[in-house]
Chain A
Amino acid sequence: MAKKLPATQVVIVGLGWAGSILAHELADEGLNVIAFERGPWRDTAVDFNIASAPDELRYSRRQELMLRNAQNTCTVRNTPSETALPMRTWGSFHPGNGTGGAGNHWAGITFRFQPQEFRLHSYLTERYGKELSKDLTLQDWGTDWSEMEPHYAAFEKLAGISGKAGNLKGTIVEGGNPFEGPRSIEYPNPPTAQTYAPMLFAEAAKNMGYKPFPVPSALLSQAYTNPLGVKMGPCTFCGFCTNYGCANYSKASPIISVIPALVRKRNFTAKTDCEVLRVVLDSTGKKATGIIFADSSGDEWEQPADLVIVTAFTFENVRLMLLSGVGKPYDPATNTGTTGRNYAYQTANSVRMFFDDKNFNPFIGGGAIGMGIDELNNDNFDHSGLGFVGGGSTRVTPIGAPPIDSRPVPPGTPAWGSKWKAATVKNYLSFMSIGCEASSYSMRTNYLSLDPTYRDPRGRPLLRITFDFPENDRRMSAYVTGKVMDIAKTMGAREFYPSSQTGHWNTKPYQSSHVVGGFIMGADPSTSSVNKHLQVWDVPNLFVVGASAFPQNPGYNPTGTVGALAYKAADAIRNHYLKRPGEMISV
């Protein structure tokens, strides 16, 4: 029996980007906020010291910043007819842990989704009609660009995003991404300098008529003070970025951009190493009364609250809702129920290139420093007669080439010994790749549920992922990779190796941590879990915020939209919910 603690006004579950932003906004509103984080407290000065942060063994191989599989993991299968097995080490994706969450080890690529994404099902139906595959379960978000735009701008200011606008208030701007939605303001910081490989790619793409632009980056180009007074320094291109915490205060993260200001607020408390076990509902099931959590000693406590905001990673957001009995679990057989619905991923493609006469100095780089094109993304090209919808963001962003993992050798090279060493020496400096981070469109049999067999150390069922690449996405993958190959061929490489998603989803190789959906936004309570304010249908004092709200995933990285949704939910709570607490927001 959990011991009951004194009530507070707001409980936040998870201190990543969404949780930190909401905690800050609501503490700023004057509310008493307690945030729970299942992992440890992380602090740049202490945990990401420049003398010890660039440690590939510790952070990349041993994955210190990731959730420990023994604490919590998920089970996986490709189809509903299979029996899922647990992931005992991370492969395909990297869920984070501790304050900052996945916002510590992210790459920093910060796109906005496009205006048509927020009404994707309507938009594609209007454009392609019956051509649109019946297998896809695409949905509209229940919101629109005009409602999203201010919150994107707020997140970009918070994180100090460095980039170049391509569409300022409807005017296309040379040098930026012409496919982006109209922006109210330019990026807060100019783009970073570029290394050689992205410049070579941009030149080749430009010669073929594409419009290359600097990838919007949370790795800052210059010193910056954000609206909370927090300072950031310019990125040093140290090459220890994705999978690492930033020691230079250059990569925006919750612990760099928000928490230093948040912890100064006396009405904010963080409880770390405290895992939330479930959200407590009253007897009507229409009101959350608080949460149950376990501390590091395993003792269980009840924390009552007026308002509960769940901001964990996609997986845990959905799992907590399933464990708490919030919403009806999704059933793929009948296509009914909402909790677990429309789980989607990202379709990763690439072309690897080996040159003879280039020196890319690949150890210089960062997760989001590079050049991209958007002609091959989403619906930026006409899909009539192609047999698929969607596409990908194509770019060259050399993240650094650390000594253990970066052994770029052509296929056929022995995996060890003197030939392998010789091939490493020959290719290390002269290798580059073009990536194409493509859309992942939801379908009926891709969903999240509780596993019937495997449990966590506290006896709670693990989350089960049922996922495979839809035929639509495989066709899209083959098509865009072919287009990327066309660019690659003009760049003068000795050898090329394209890689697209032609087979089943394999959990072993790392692909992307962009797991989305399962507790999605929408205008219809029968097909969505939260309304456009991220407020749970029929449980007005419960908000669930994160990429779990995406009904499908476009060909962009999700963090910019997670940040925007956090600001959107905060705005709705501050300006609407608190005026009529306990009611569904009706505007």
Chain B
Amino acid sequence: MKTSTVVMFTAICAACSAAYGREGSDSWDLVERGRYLAVLGDCTACHTATDGKPFAGGVVIDTPFGKLVGANITPDTETGLGRWNFENFQDVMSRGHGIGGKRLYGAMPYTAYTKVSRQDNQAMWAYLQTLEPVKNEVETNQLPFPFNQRLSLIGWNWLNFSEGEFKSNSEKSAAWNRGAYLVQGLGHCGTCHSPKGLTGGNKADQFLQGANLQGWVAPNITSDPHRGIGAWSEDDLVQYLKTGANRFDIASGPMGEAVEHSTQHWREEDLRAVSTYLKDMGQAYPPPPEPVAADSAAMRNGKAIYADRCSGCHTPSGEGIAGLFPKLAGAPLINSDDPSPIVRAVLGGSRAISTQAAPTGPSMPAFAWNLSDQNVADVATYVRNSWTNAAPAVSANDVQNLREDLGPHP
């Protein structure tokens, strides 16, 4: 690796005339800062395939409009970014414009990355230059017509994108500003956690209030005490992001991947900053709905199923076991208006991630094979309306739809 890095630098310096390339871009400080920034941005999530070479692309991203594939961003001259210079990279990050003005799709979260400072982009670019060039042709745009027409992105950008670096708020602390910069920028939390409009752009007025994507629900992560994570302390948040588990919950699915690839490697002060910012997102929240009456048929049936199938791990009072079995009482994913998180977990099961700090990686079994739609609906309704939880009842129809979406072996 070391040898190839040296050889590569020689090649790059000879090939391109970017002024930047001669300004110490190979200094350890800059490259190391860039490496860390790339971790913050979780670039590997889309650009490193399972068992693939680092950053050589090939990760398929399912969107409601079709498939997009993460590009090869190694310095390979034919299939990667070998012919790019820093300004090309800066254009991608800040404007969503690829080389030659080609517009990128929003799956590359430039709507968030536009907040990233030019300085930070320079560091990441320096780091990307040190990667082993990998020859790996990737067809990034696998969308069907008409979505594969990049011209449509002009309109999309006009609707959904506001360009510009993060501006700090002088009334807030340095930690708050760092947190805001990370959440809105490289962390691109809103890419999953903000509701999407019809064209797939974030609804700006509902920042971080939860969204359904790829069949998973990214919960509301505002301080809403009912639907969000208002009950979590800053320490709880830091612990969750650092280890994947805290006294409330344990990460699985796409968030599990985010913790595994990205947040467990963040510096403590950055995780603290994120927590400071998220805990300060004071807004007026809609009141919780009235819980479903405990004596309804659904609640009575759900209670019996819960006692039989769920309470062994999640405990009869829905408290769970810290770091092992998620707490259901007061959980944002349980109280979300959209019931698909709990229905999905009951049907398909779930496996938490394993991290350095919490290596266990416990699992929840699938019940699709032995619970009917009505029974899944009733137990979900019961969990969503017990122990201070309150959320709309779940119908057998809701379960049936998700069961079909998940396929025969969810």
Contact = CB atoms under 8 A, between A and B. Distances in A.
A52 B323 contact: no
B359 A45 contact: no
Contacts of B312: 50, 236, 238, 248
Contacts of B349: 49
B47 to A, nearest CB: 22
B321 A223 contact: yes
B324 interface: yes
B365 A49 contact: yes
B324 A46 contact: no
B178 interface: no
Interface stretch (B111-119, B299-307, B350-358, B376-384): B350-358
Nearest to B243: A229
A232 B324 contact: yes
Interface string B175-194: 00000000000000000000
B356 A264 contact: yes
User: Mostly helix, strand, loop or mixed at chain B's interface?
Assistant: loop
B367 A249 contact: no
Contacts of A51: 309, 365-367, 369-370
B144 to A, nearest CB: 36
A260 B354 contact: yes
Interface in A215-244: 223, 225, 228-234, 236, 238
A52 B362 CA distance: 15
B322 interface: yes
B364 to A, nearest CB: 8
A8 interface: no
A261 interface: yes
Contact of A230 (B313, B321, B359, B365): B359
B27 interface: no
A379 to B, nearest CB: 41
Contact of B362 (A225, A238, A249): A249
Contacts of B313: 50, 233, 236, 248
A249 B324 CA distance: 8
B119 to A, nearest CB: 34
B173 interface: no
A45 B367 CA distance: 14
22 contacts: A44-B362, A44-B363, A49-B363, A49-B365, A50-B313, A51-B365, A51-B366, A52-B365, A223-B321, A223-B322, A223-B324, A229-B356, A229-B358, A229-B359, A230-B359, A230-B360, A231-B321, A231-B323, A236-B312, A238-B312, A247-B365, A264-B356
Nearest to A262: B359
A260 to B, nearest CB: 4
B332 to A, nearest CB: 22
A50 B351 CA distance: 13
B201 interface: no
B363 A45 contact: yes
Given A46-B363, A223-B321, 4 more contacts: A45-B362, A49-B365, A231-B360, A247-B365
Given A223-B324, A233-B324, A261 B365 contact: no
Contacts of A231: 245, 321, 323-324, 358, 360, 362
A489 B312 CA distance: 37
B207 interface: no
Interface string B35-69: 00000000000000000000000000000000000
B359 A260 contact: yes
A192 B361 CA distance: 25
B361 A260 contact: yes
A59 to B, nearest CB: 16
Contacts of A260: 354, 359-361
Contacts of B359: 228-230, 260-261, 264
Interface string A525-568: 00000000000000000000000000000000000000000000
Nearest to A256: B360
A208 B324 CA distance: 43
B266 to A, nearest CB: 18
Q: Which 9 A-B pairs have the closest CB atoms?
A: A45-B363, A51-B365, A260-B359, A49-B365, A233-B321, A236-B312, A231-B360, A231-B323, A261-B359
A249 B312 CA distance: 11
Choose among A51, A234, A264 the residue with the greatest number of B CB atoms under 10 Å from its CB. A51
Contacts of B362: 44-45, 231, 249
A232 B363 CA distance: 13
Given A45-B361, A228-B359, A248-B312, A233 B366 contact: no
B127 interface: no
A52 B312 CA distance: 14
Interface in B320-345: 321-325
B264 to A, nearest CB: 12
Contacts of A264: 354, 356, 359
Interface in A173-197: none
Contacts of B309: 51
B323 to A, nearest CB: 5
A233 B363 contact: no
B309 to A, nearest CB: 8
Contacts of B365: 49-52, 247
Interface string A51-77: 110000000000000000000000000
Contacts of B370: 51
A398 to B, nearest CB: 18
B250 to A, nearest CB: 9
B323 A225 contact: yes
Contacts of A238: 312
Nearest to A45: B363
Interface in A12-67: 44-46, 49-52
Residue of A45, A225, A232, A234 with most partner-chain B CB within 10 A: A45
Contacts of A46: 363
Contacts of A233: 313, 321, 324-325
Contacts of B321: 223, 231, 233-234
Nearest to A261: B359
Q: Which of B357, B358, B360, B366 has the most CB of A within 10 A?
A: B360
Nearest to A237: B312
A50 B346 CA distance: 13
Most buried by A among B245, B354, B363, B369: B363
Nearest to A51: B365
B280 to A, nearest CB: 31
Nearest to A232: B324
B39 to A, nearest CB: 18
Contacts of A234: 321
A229 B324 CA distance: 12
A248 B362 CA distance: 9
Contacts of A49: 349, 363, 365
A409 to B, nearest CB: 29
Contacts of A247: 365
Interface string A372-406: 00000000000000000000000000000000000
Nearest to A259: B359
Q: Which of A44, A232, A233, A234 has the most CB of B within 10 A?
A: A233
A238 B359 CA distance: 25
A232 B325 CA distance: 10
A51 B348 CA distance: 12
Name the residue in B322, B324, B325 with the highest tally of chain A Cβ atoms < 10 Å from its Cβ. B324
A261 B354 CA distance: 9
A234 B357 CA distance: 20
A249 B323 CA distance: 12
A229 B264 CA distance: 15
A387 B321 CA distance: 53
Interface string A244-267: 000111000000100011001000
Nearest to B352: A45
Nearest to A53: B365
Nearest to B312: A236
A228 B360 CA distance: 10
Contacts of B366: 51
A230 to B, nearest CB: 5
Interface string B68-94: 000000000000000000000000000
